[in-house]
Amino acid sequence: MLPLDGVTVLSLEHAVAGPYATRQLADLGARVIKIERPGVGDFARRYDESVNGLSSYFVWLNRSKESVTVDVKSQHGREVLHELAERADVILQNLGPGAAARLGLSADAVRARDPSKIVVNITGWGSDGPWADRKAYDLLVQAETGLVSLTGTPTDVAKVGVSIADIAAGMYAFSGVLAALFRRSTTGDGASIEVSLFEALAEWVGQPSHFASGAGYQPGRFGAQHATIAPYGPFQARDGRTILLAIQNEPEWGRFCHLVLERPDVAEDSRFESNTRRVAHRAELNQIVAEQFLNLSGSQLEARLAEARIAFAGVKTIAEFLDHPVLSGRDRWREVVTEAGAIRALLPPISLGAEPRMDPVPALGQHTTQILRELGRDPRTLEKCVAGLTDCGGML
């Protein structure tokens, strides 16, 4: 039995933030009913066609869910939506500003009818405040929180290579639902939860925010090097291999100089006597490290770093990551069914002693018939409707 067996989630979701939160709830056993637009669905279904013709975003974020196509603008569709909401424990949405309220599913409206409901509202900039009605996408939030100004090289800024603002918001929505379910189990009270992409990512830039407030200037951009720790970044070995090393404290620094560089004089150099000094003299230090690394092969460097108990890693491509020995050695891969065939997918990172759900990725509207029958809808009308969405007459 999984922790969230028996919990039903109704989700009006699209793109990344909402689906990421609900997929994690599904991983832990919740029944997630995903409402999609007839004929179109979640627009993330069409972000790309890289997975046997399916979107990489969609197959990542939507396994183990039930897809129901409902025209929520029609009277019948609105009735279906509200019946599903009445049966759900959790209602989550990341629609545009005001959309949930127009559907009668704002947190205030839902919990006025049933205080035990848990209602989650994922927004871009918050449901109130000066930007409440402004559109928000991941890169825009990266830019407004200052993250883009921290990422890249001294001459060029860069975005983070994954949808980090969406992921951050999805994580906080997920953890918020878990906390609300726990409280409800003891008090009977539900919750009105709000998470914004902006405030989620604002939390994640907390360290550079404190640094800039205290130091009076923000950390610089150093590519794959650490902005405030040195040496910490990639260096090339004699055979062309790139090895990223990370020095965290003074004992490591000493061992690195003696056992890896074989340069005790560097450890005693006043320019490098503390991390602050090493950062101030980063260019000189990096030149010393780079010159020494070019005298050794990648395997020799790895052996020395391991002996000195210095953290290091290879700089891998995604293709190399997919064949990572840790993933295979820890049996992290599973098979997930899609309408276009089976694919490999990683187990979720939370291990609770039971195998998580890794059920199929739903086709658009795959579960509409089943769900409407559960609601007692007329099967004859239903069959005519499902046969062709253009003939639905507002039912779907």
Per-residue pLDDT of 64-88, as tens digits, reads: 999 999 999 888 889 999 999 999 9
Least confidently predicted of 98-112, 341-355, 379-393: 379-393
Q: Model confidence at 344, in pLDDT bands (50, 70, 90)?
A: very high
Kindly provide the b/e burial profile for residues 146-163, where b requires at least 16 CB atoms within 10 angstroms of the residue's own CB.
bbbebbeeeeeeeebeeb
Question: How far, in whole angstroms, is CA 19 from its chain's centroid?
Answer: 10
For the domain spanning 8-205+329-391, the CATH number is 3.40.50.10540
pLDDT in tens, 314-334: 999 999 999 999 999 999 999
Radius of gyration over every alpha carbon of the chain, rounded to an integer in angstroms: 26
Contact status, residue 138 vs residue 166, Cβ threshold 8 Å: yes
What confidence score (pLDDT) does residue 379 get? Answer: 55
Q: Range(s) for CATH 3.40.50.10540 in the chain?
A: 8-205+329-391
Residue 254 pLDDT greater than 90, yes or no: yes
Residue 390 has pLDDT above 60, yes or no: no
Nearest to 11, CA basis, from 74, 102, 105, 98: 105
Which comes out higher in pLDDT, residue 391 or 382?
382
* 299 has a pLDDT exceeding 60: yes
Average pLDDT over residues 250-261: 97
- Residues 83-118: tens digit of each pLDDT: 999 999 999 999 999 999 999 999 999 999 999 999
- Comparing C-alpha atoms, which of 358, 363, 329, 362 is closest to residue 346? 358
Confidence at residue 396, expressed as pLDDT on a 0 to 100 scale: 47
Confidence bin at 391 (pLDDT 50/70/90): very low
Q: What percent of the chain has pLDDT over 90?
A: 91
Average of per-residue pLDDT across 176-202: 98
Domain(s) of CATH 3.30.1540.10: residues in the chain: 232-314
Where is pLDDT greater, at 106 or 391?
106
What pLDDT, on a 0 to 100 scale, did the predictor assign at position 377?
A: 81
Q: Which residues contact 267 (CB under 8 A, 6 or more apart)?
A: 253, 254, 257, 258
pLDDT of residue 353: 86
Evaluate if pTM is beyond 0.75: yes
pLDDT band at 354 (very low <50, low <70, confident <90, very high): confident
* Res. 387: pLDDT tops 90: no
Looking at residue 76, its pLDDT comes to 86
Residues 19, 362 contacting (CB under 8 angstroms): no
| Percent of the chain whose pLDDT exceeds 70 | 95
**Span 159-185, mean pLDDT?**
97
How far is it, in rounded angstroms, from Cα 77 to Cα 122?
23
Largest pairwise CA distance in the chain: 86
CATH class, domain 232-314, is alpha beta
Determine the average pLDDT of the residues in 274-283. 96
Q: pLDDT digits over 3-47, tens only?
A: 999 999 999 999 999 999 999 999 999 999 999 999 999 999 999
Q: For residues 264 and 301, what is the distance between their CA atoms, to the nearest angstrom?
A: 17
